[in-house]
Amino acid sequence: MDERSAEHTPAAPAAPARTGAAATAEPAVETRGLTKRYRGGQVAVDALDLSVPRGSVFGFLGPNGSGKTTTIRMLVGLIEPTSGGARLLGAPMPRAARTVLPRVGALIEGPALYGFLNGRDNLLRYDAADPTADPRTRATRVAAALDRVGLSAAAHKKARAYSLGMKQRLGLAAALLQPRELLILDEPTNGLDPQGMREIRTLVRELADDGITVFLSSHLLDEIEQVCTHAAVMSQGRLIAQGTVAALAAGSRGRLTVTSPDTSDAVRVLKEHGVTDLVVADERISGELPAPTGRGEPPLDLAELNAALVRAGVRVRGFGAERASLEDAFVALTGEGFDVAG
């Protein structure tokens, strides 16, 4: 199977709307011990156990080279795993590819477009390649897909003249020519300007609202945090953590910021109260709040900490705790820096 066929495989009946029952249904994507080892011993994906809830927008997060695309290619049957297995929509892959992939839309490593054709004709060709597509309703399907991604006005423009964002949207339109239950997107905003990124994020939210499970691979933390309900963190081919975005961020401690001209005294008091990783820049002091002990002790009382600074004669001009972010969680989990906004 080539990538083009995987990206635009025909689809089956429309996805059901998200309900309470859907949340407890079998995962849309599930892997157990999924491993890909190349010749020479290089391990691209190492014993991956992944669970993507139905109805979620699931962020598959990791730096470039962490094994995300290799995982996606195994999920849709483009390459075979060395060991372990994967299930899409409850069926084993690649054994059930013929029945499963019609319910899955995918955009992997960018859309494959004919530059000499306009947007509408590109979609007509993709639809014509679908043996289950009714040719009598082809024009209607293509028009609806173009409208869905906001390209109706550019339908007669040559694809080679499309911006990168427009090409990505046209690729999404091709994946949505038929109703889907699961949409797999590999770095859908890669290389886009801020406006293009916003357009793709808005479209992803709309698709999720329609009940489609969206599996979105990205190396951009900000993108995942803005659009996803759940996420998994990959590093060097291994799964580091997975869960809701809120839970992943909550598992990381926030940072405290204090503004004062009395930086030395402020640092001393903060250290005494368990604040670590203190950084001083001019009159701004930032540090990591202590983690809960798990022994039933109350967390650090910020009001009391502020009062302690004042009692020590520190002139406090600013005081506050920043909300822990997905970036904080990633750094805490892996010890690595990360590309936040591209």
Distances (CA, A) of 235 to 74, 186, 215, 241, 253: 18, 16, 18, 10, 21
**What confidence score (pLDDT) does residue 312 get?**
95
**59 band by pLDDT with thresholds 50, 70 and 90:** very high
Encode burial over 77-102: b for 16+ CB neighbours within 10 A, e otherwise.
bbbebeebbbbbbeeebbeebeebbb
CATH number at residue 204: 3.40.50.300
> In this predicted model, what pLDDT tens digit does every residue of 79-127 receive, in sequence order?
999 999 999 999 999 899 989 998 999 888 778 899 999 999 999 999 9
- Residue reference for tokens 């010749």: 39
**Nearest-CA neighbor of 130 among 3, 10, 1?**
10
What's the domain range around 271? 255-323
Average pLDDT, the chain: 83
User: Based on the structure, what is the number of domains in the chain?
Assistant: 2
Whether residue 270 sits in one domain with residue 138: no
Whether residue 236 sits in one domain with residue 275: no
Please indicate, yes or no, whether the overall pTM of this predicted structure exceeds 0.85. no
Whether residue 197 sits in one domain with residue 271: no
Do residues 277 and 328 touch, judged by C-beta distance below 8 A? no
**What confidence score (pLDDT) does residue 63 get?**
79
CB atoms within 10 A of CB 195: 9
- Sequence-distant (6+) residues with CB within 8 A of 190 are 110
Whether residue 137 sits in one domain with residue 161: yes
Whether residue 172 sits in one domain with residue 95: yes
Whether residue 319 sits in one domain with residue 300: yes
**298 band by pLDDT with thresholds 50, 70 and 90:** low
How many alpha carbons lie under 13 Å from residue 85 in its C-beta half-sphere? 9
Whether residue 51 sits in one domain with residue 123: yes
Whether residue 126 sits in one domain with residue 259: no
* Cα-Cα-Cα-Cα dihedral sign, residues 7, 10, 16, 20: negative
> In this predicted model, what pLDDT tens digit does every residue of 285-296 receive, in sequence order?
988 877 655 444
Q: How far is it, in rounded angstroms, from Cα 37 to Cα 166?
A: 36
- Sequence-distant (6+) residues with CB within 8 A of 123 are 142, 145, 146, 170, 173, 174, 177
Whether residue 30 sits in one domain with residue 76: yes
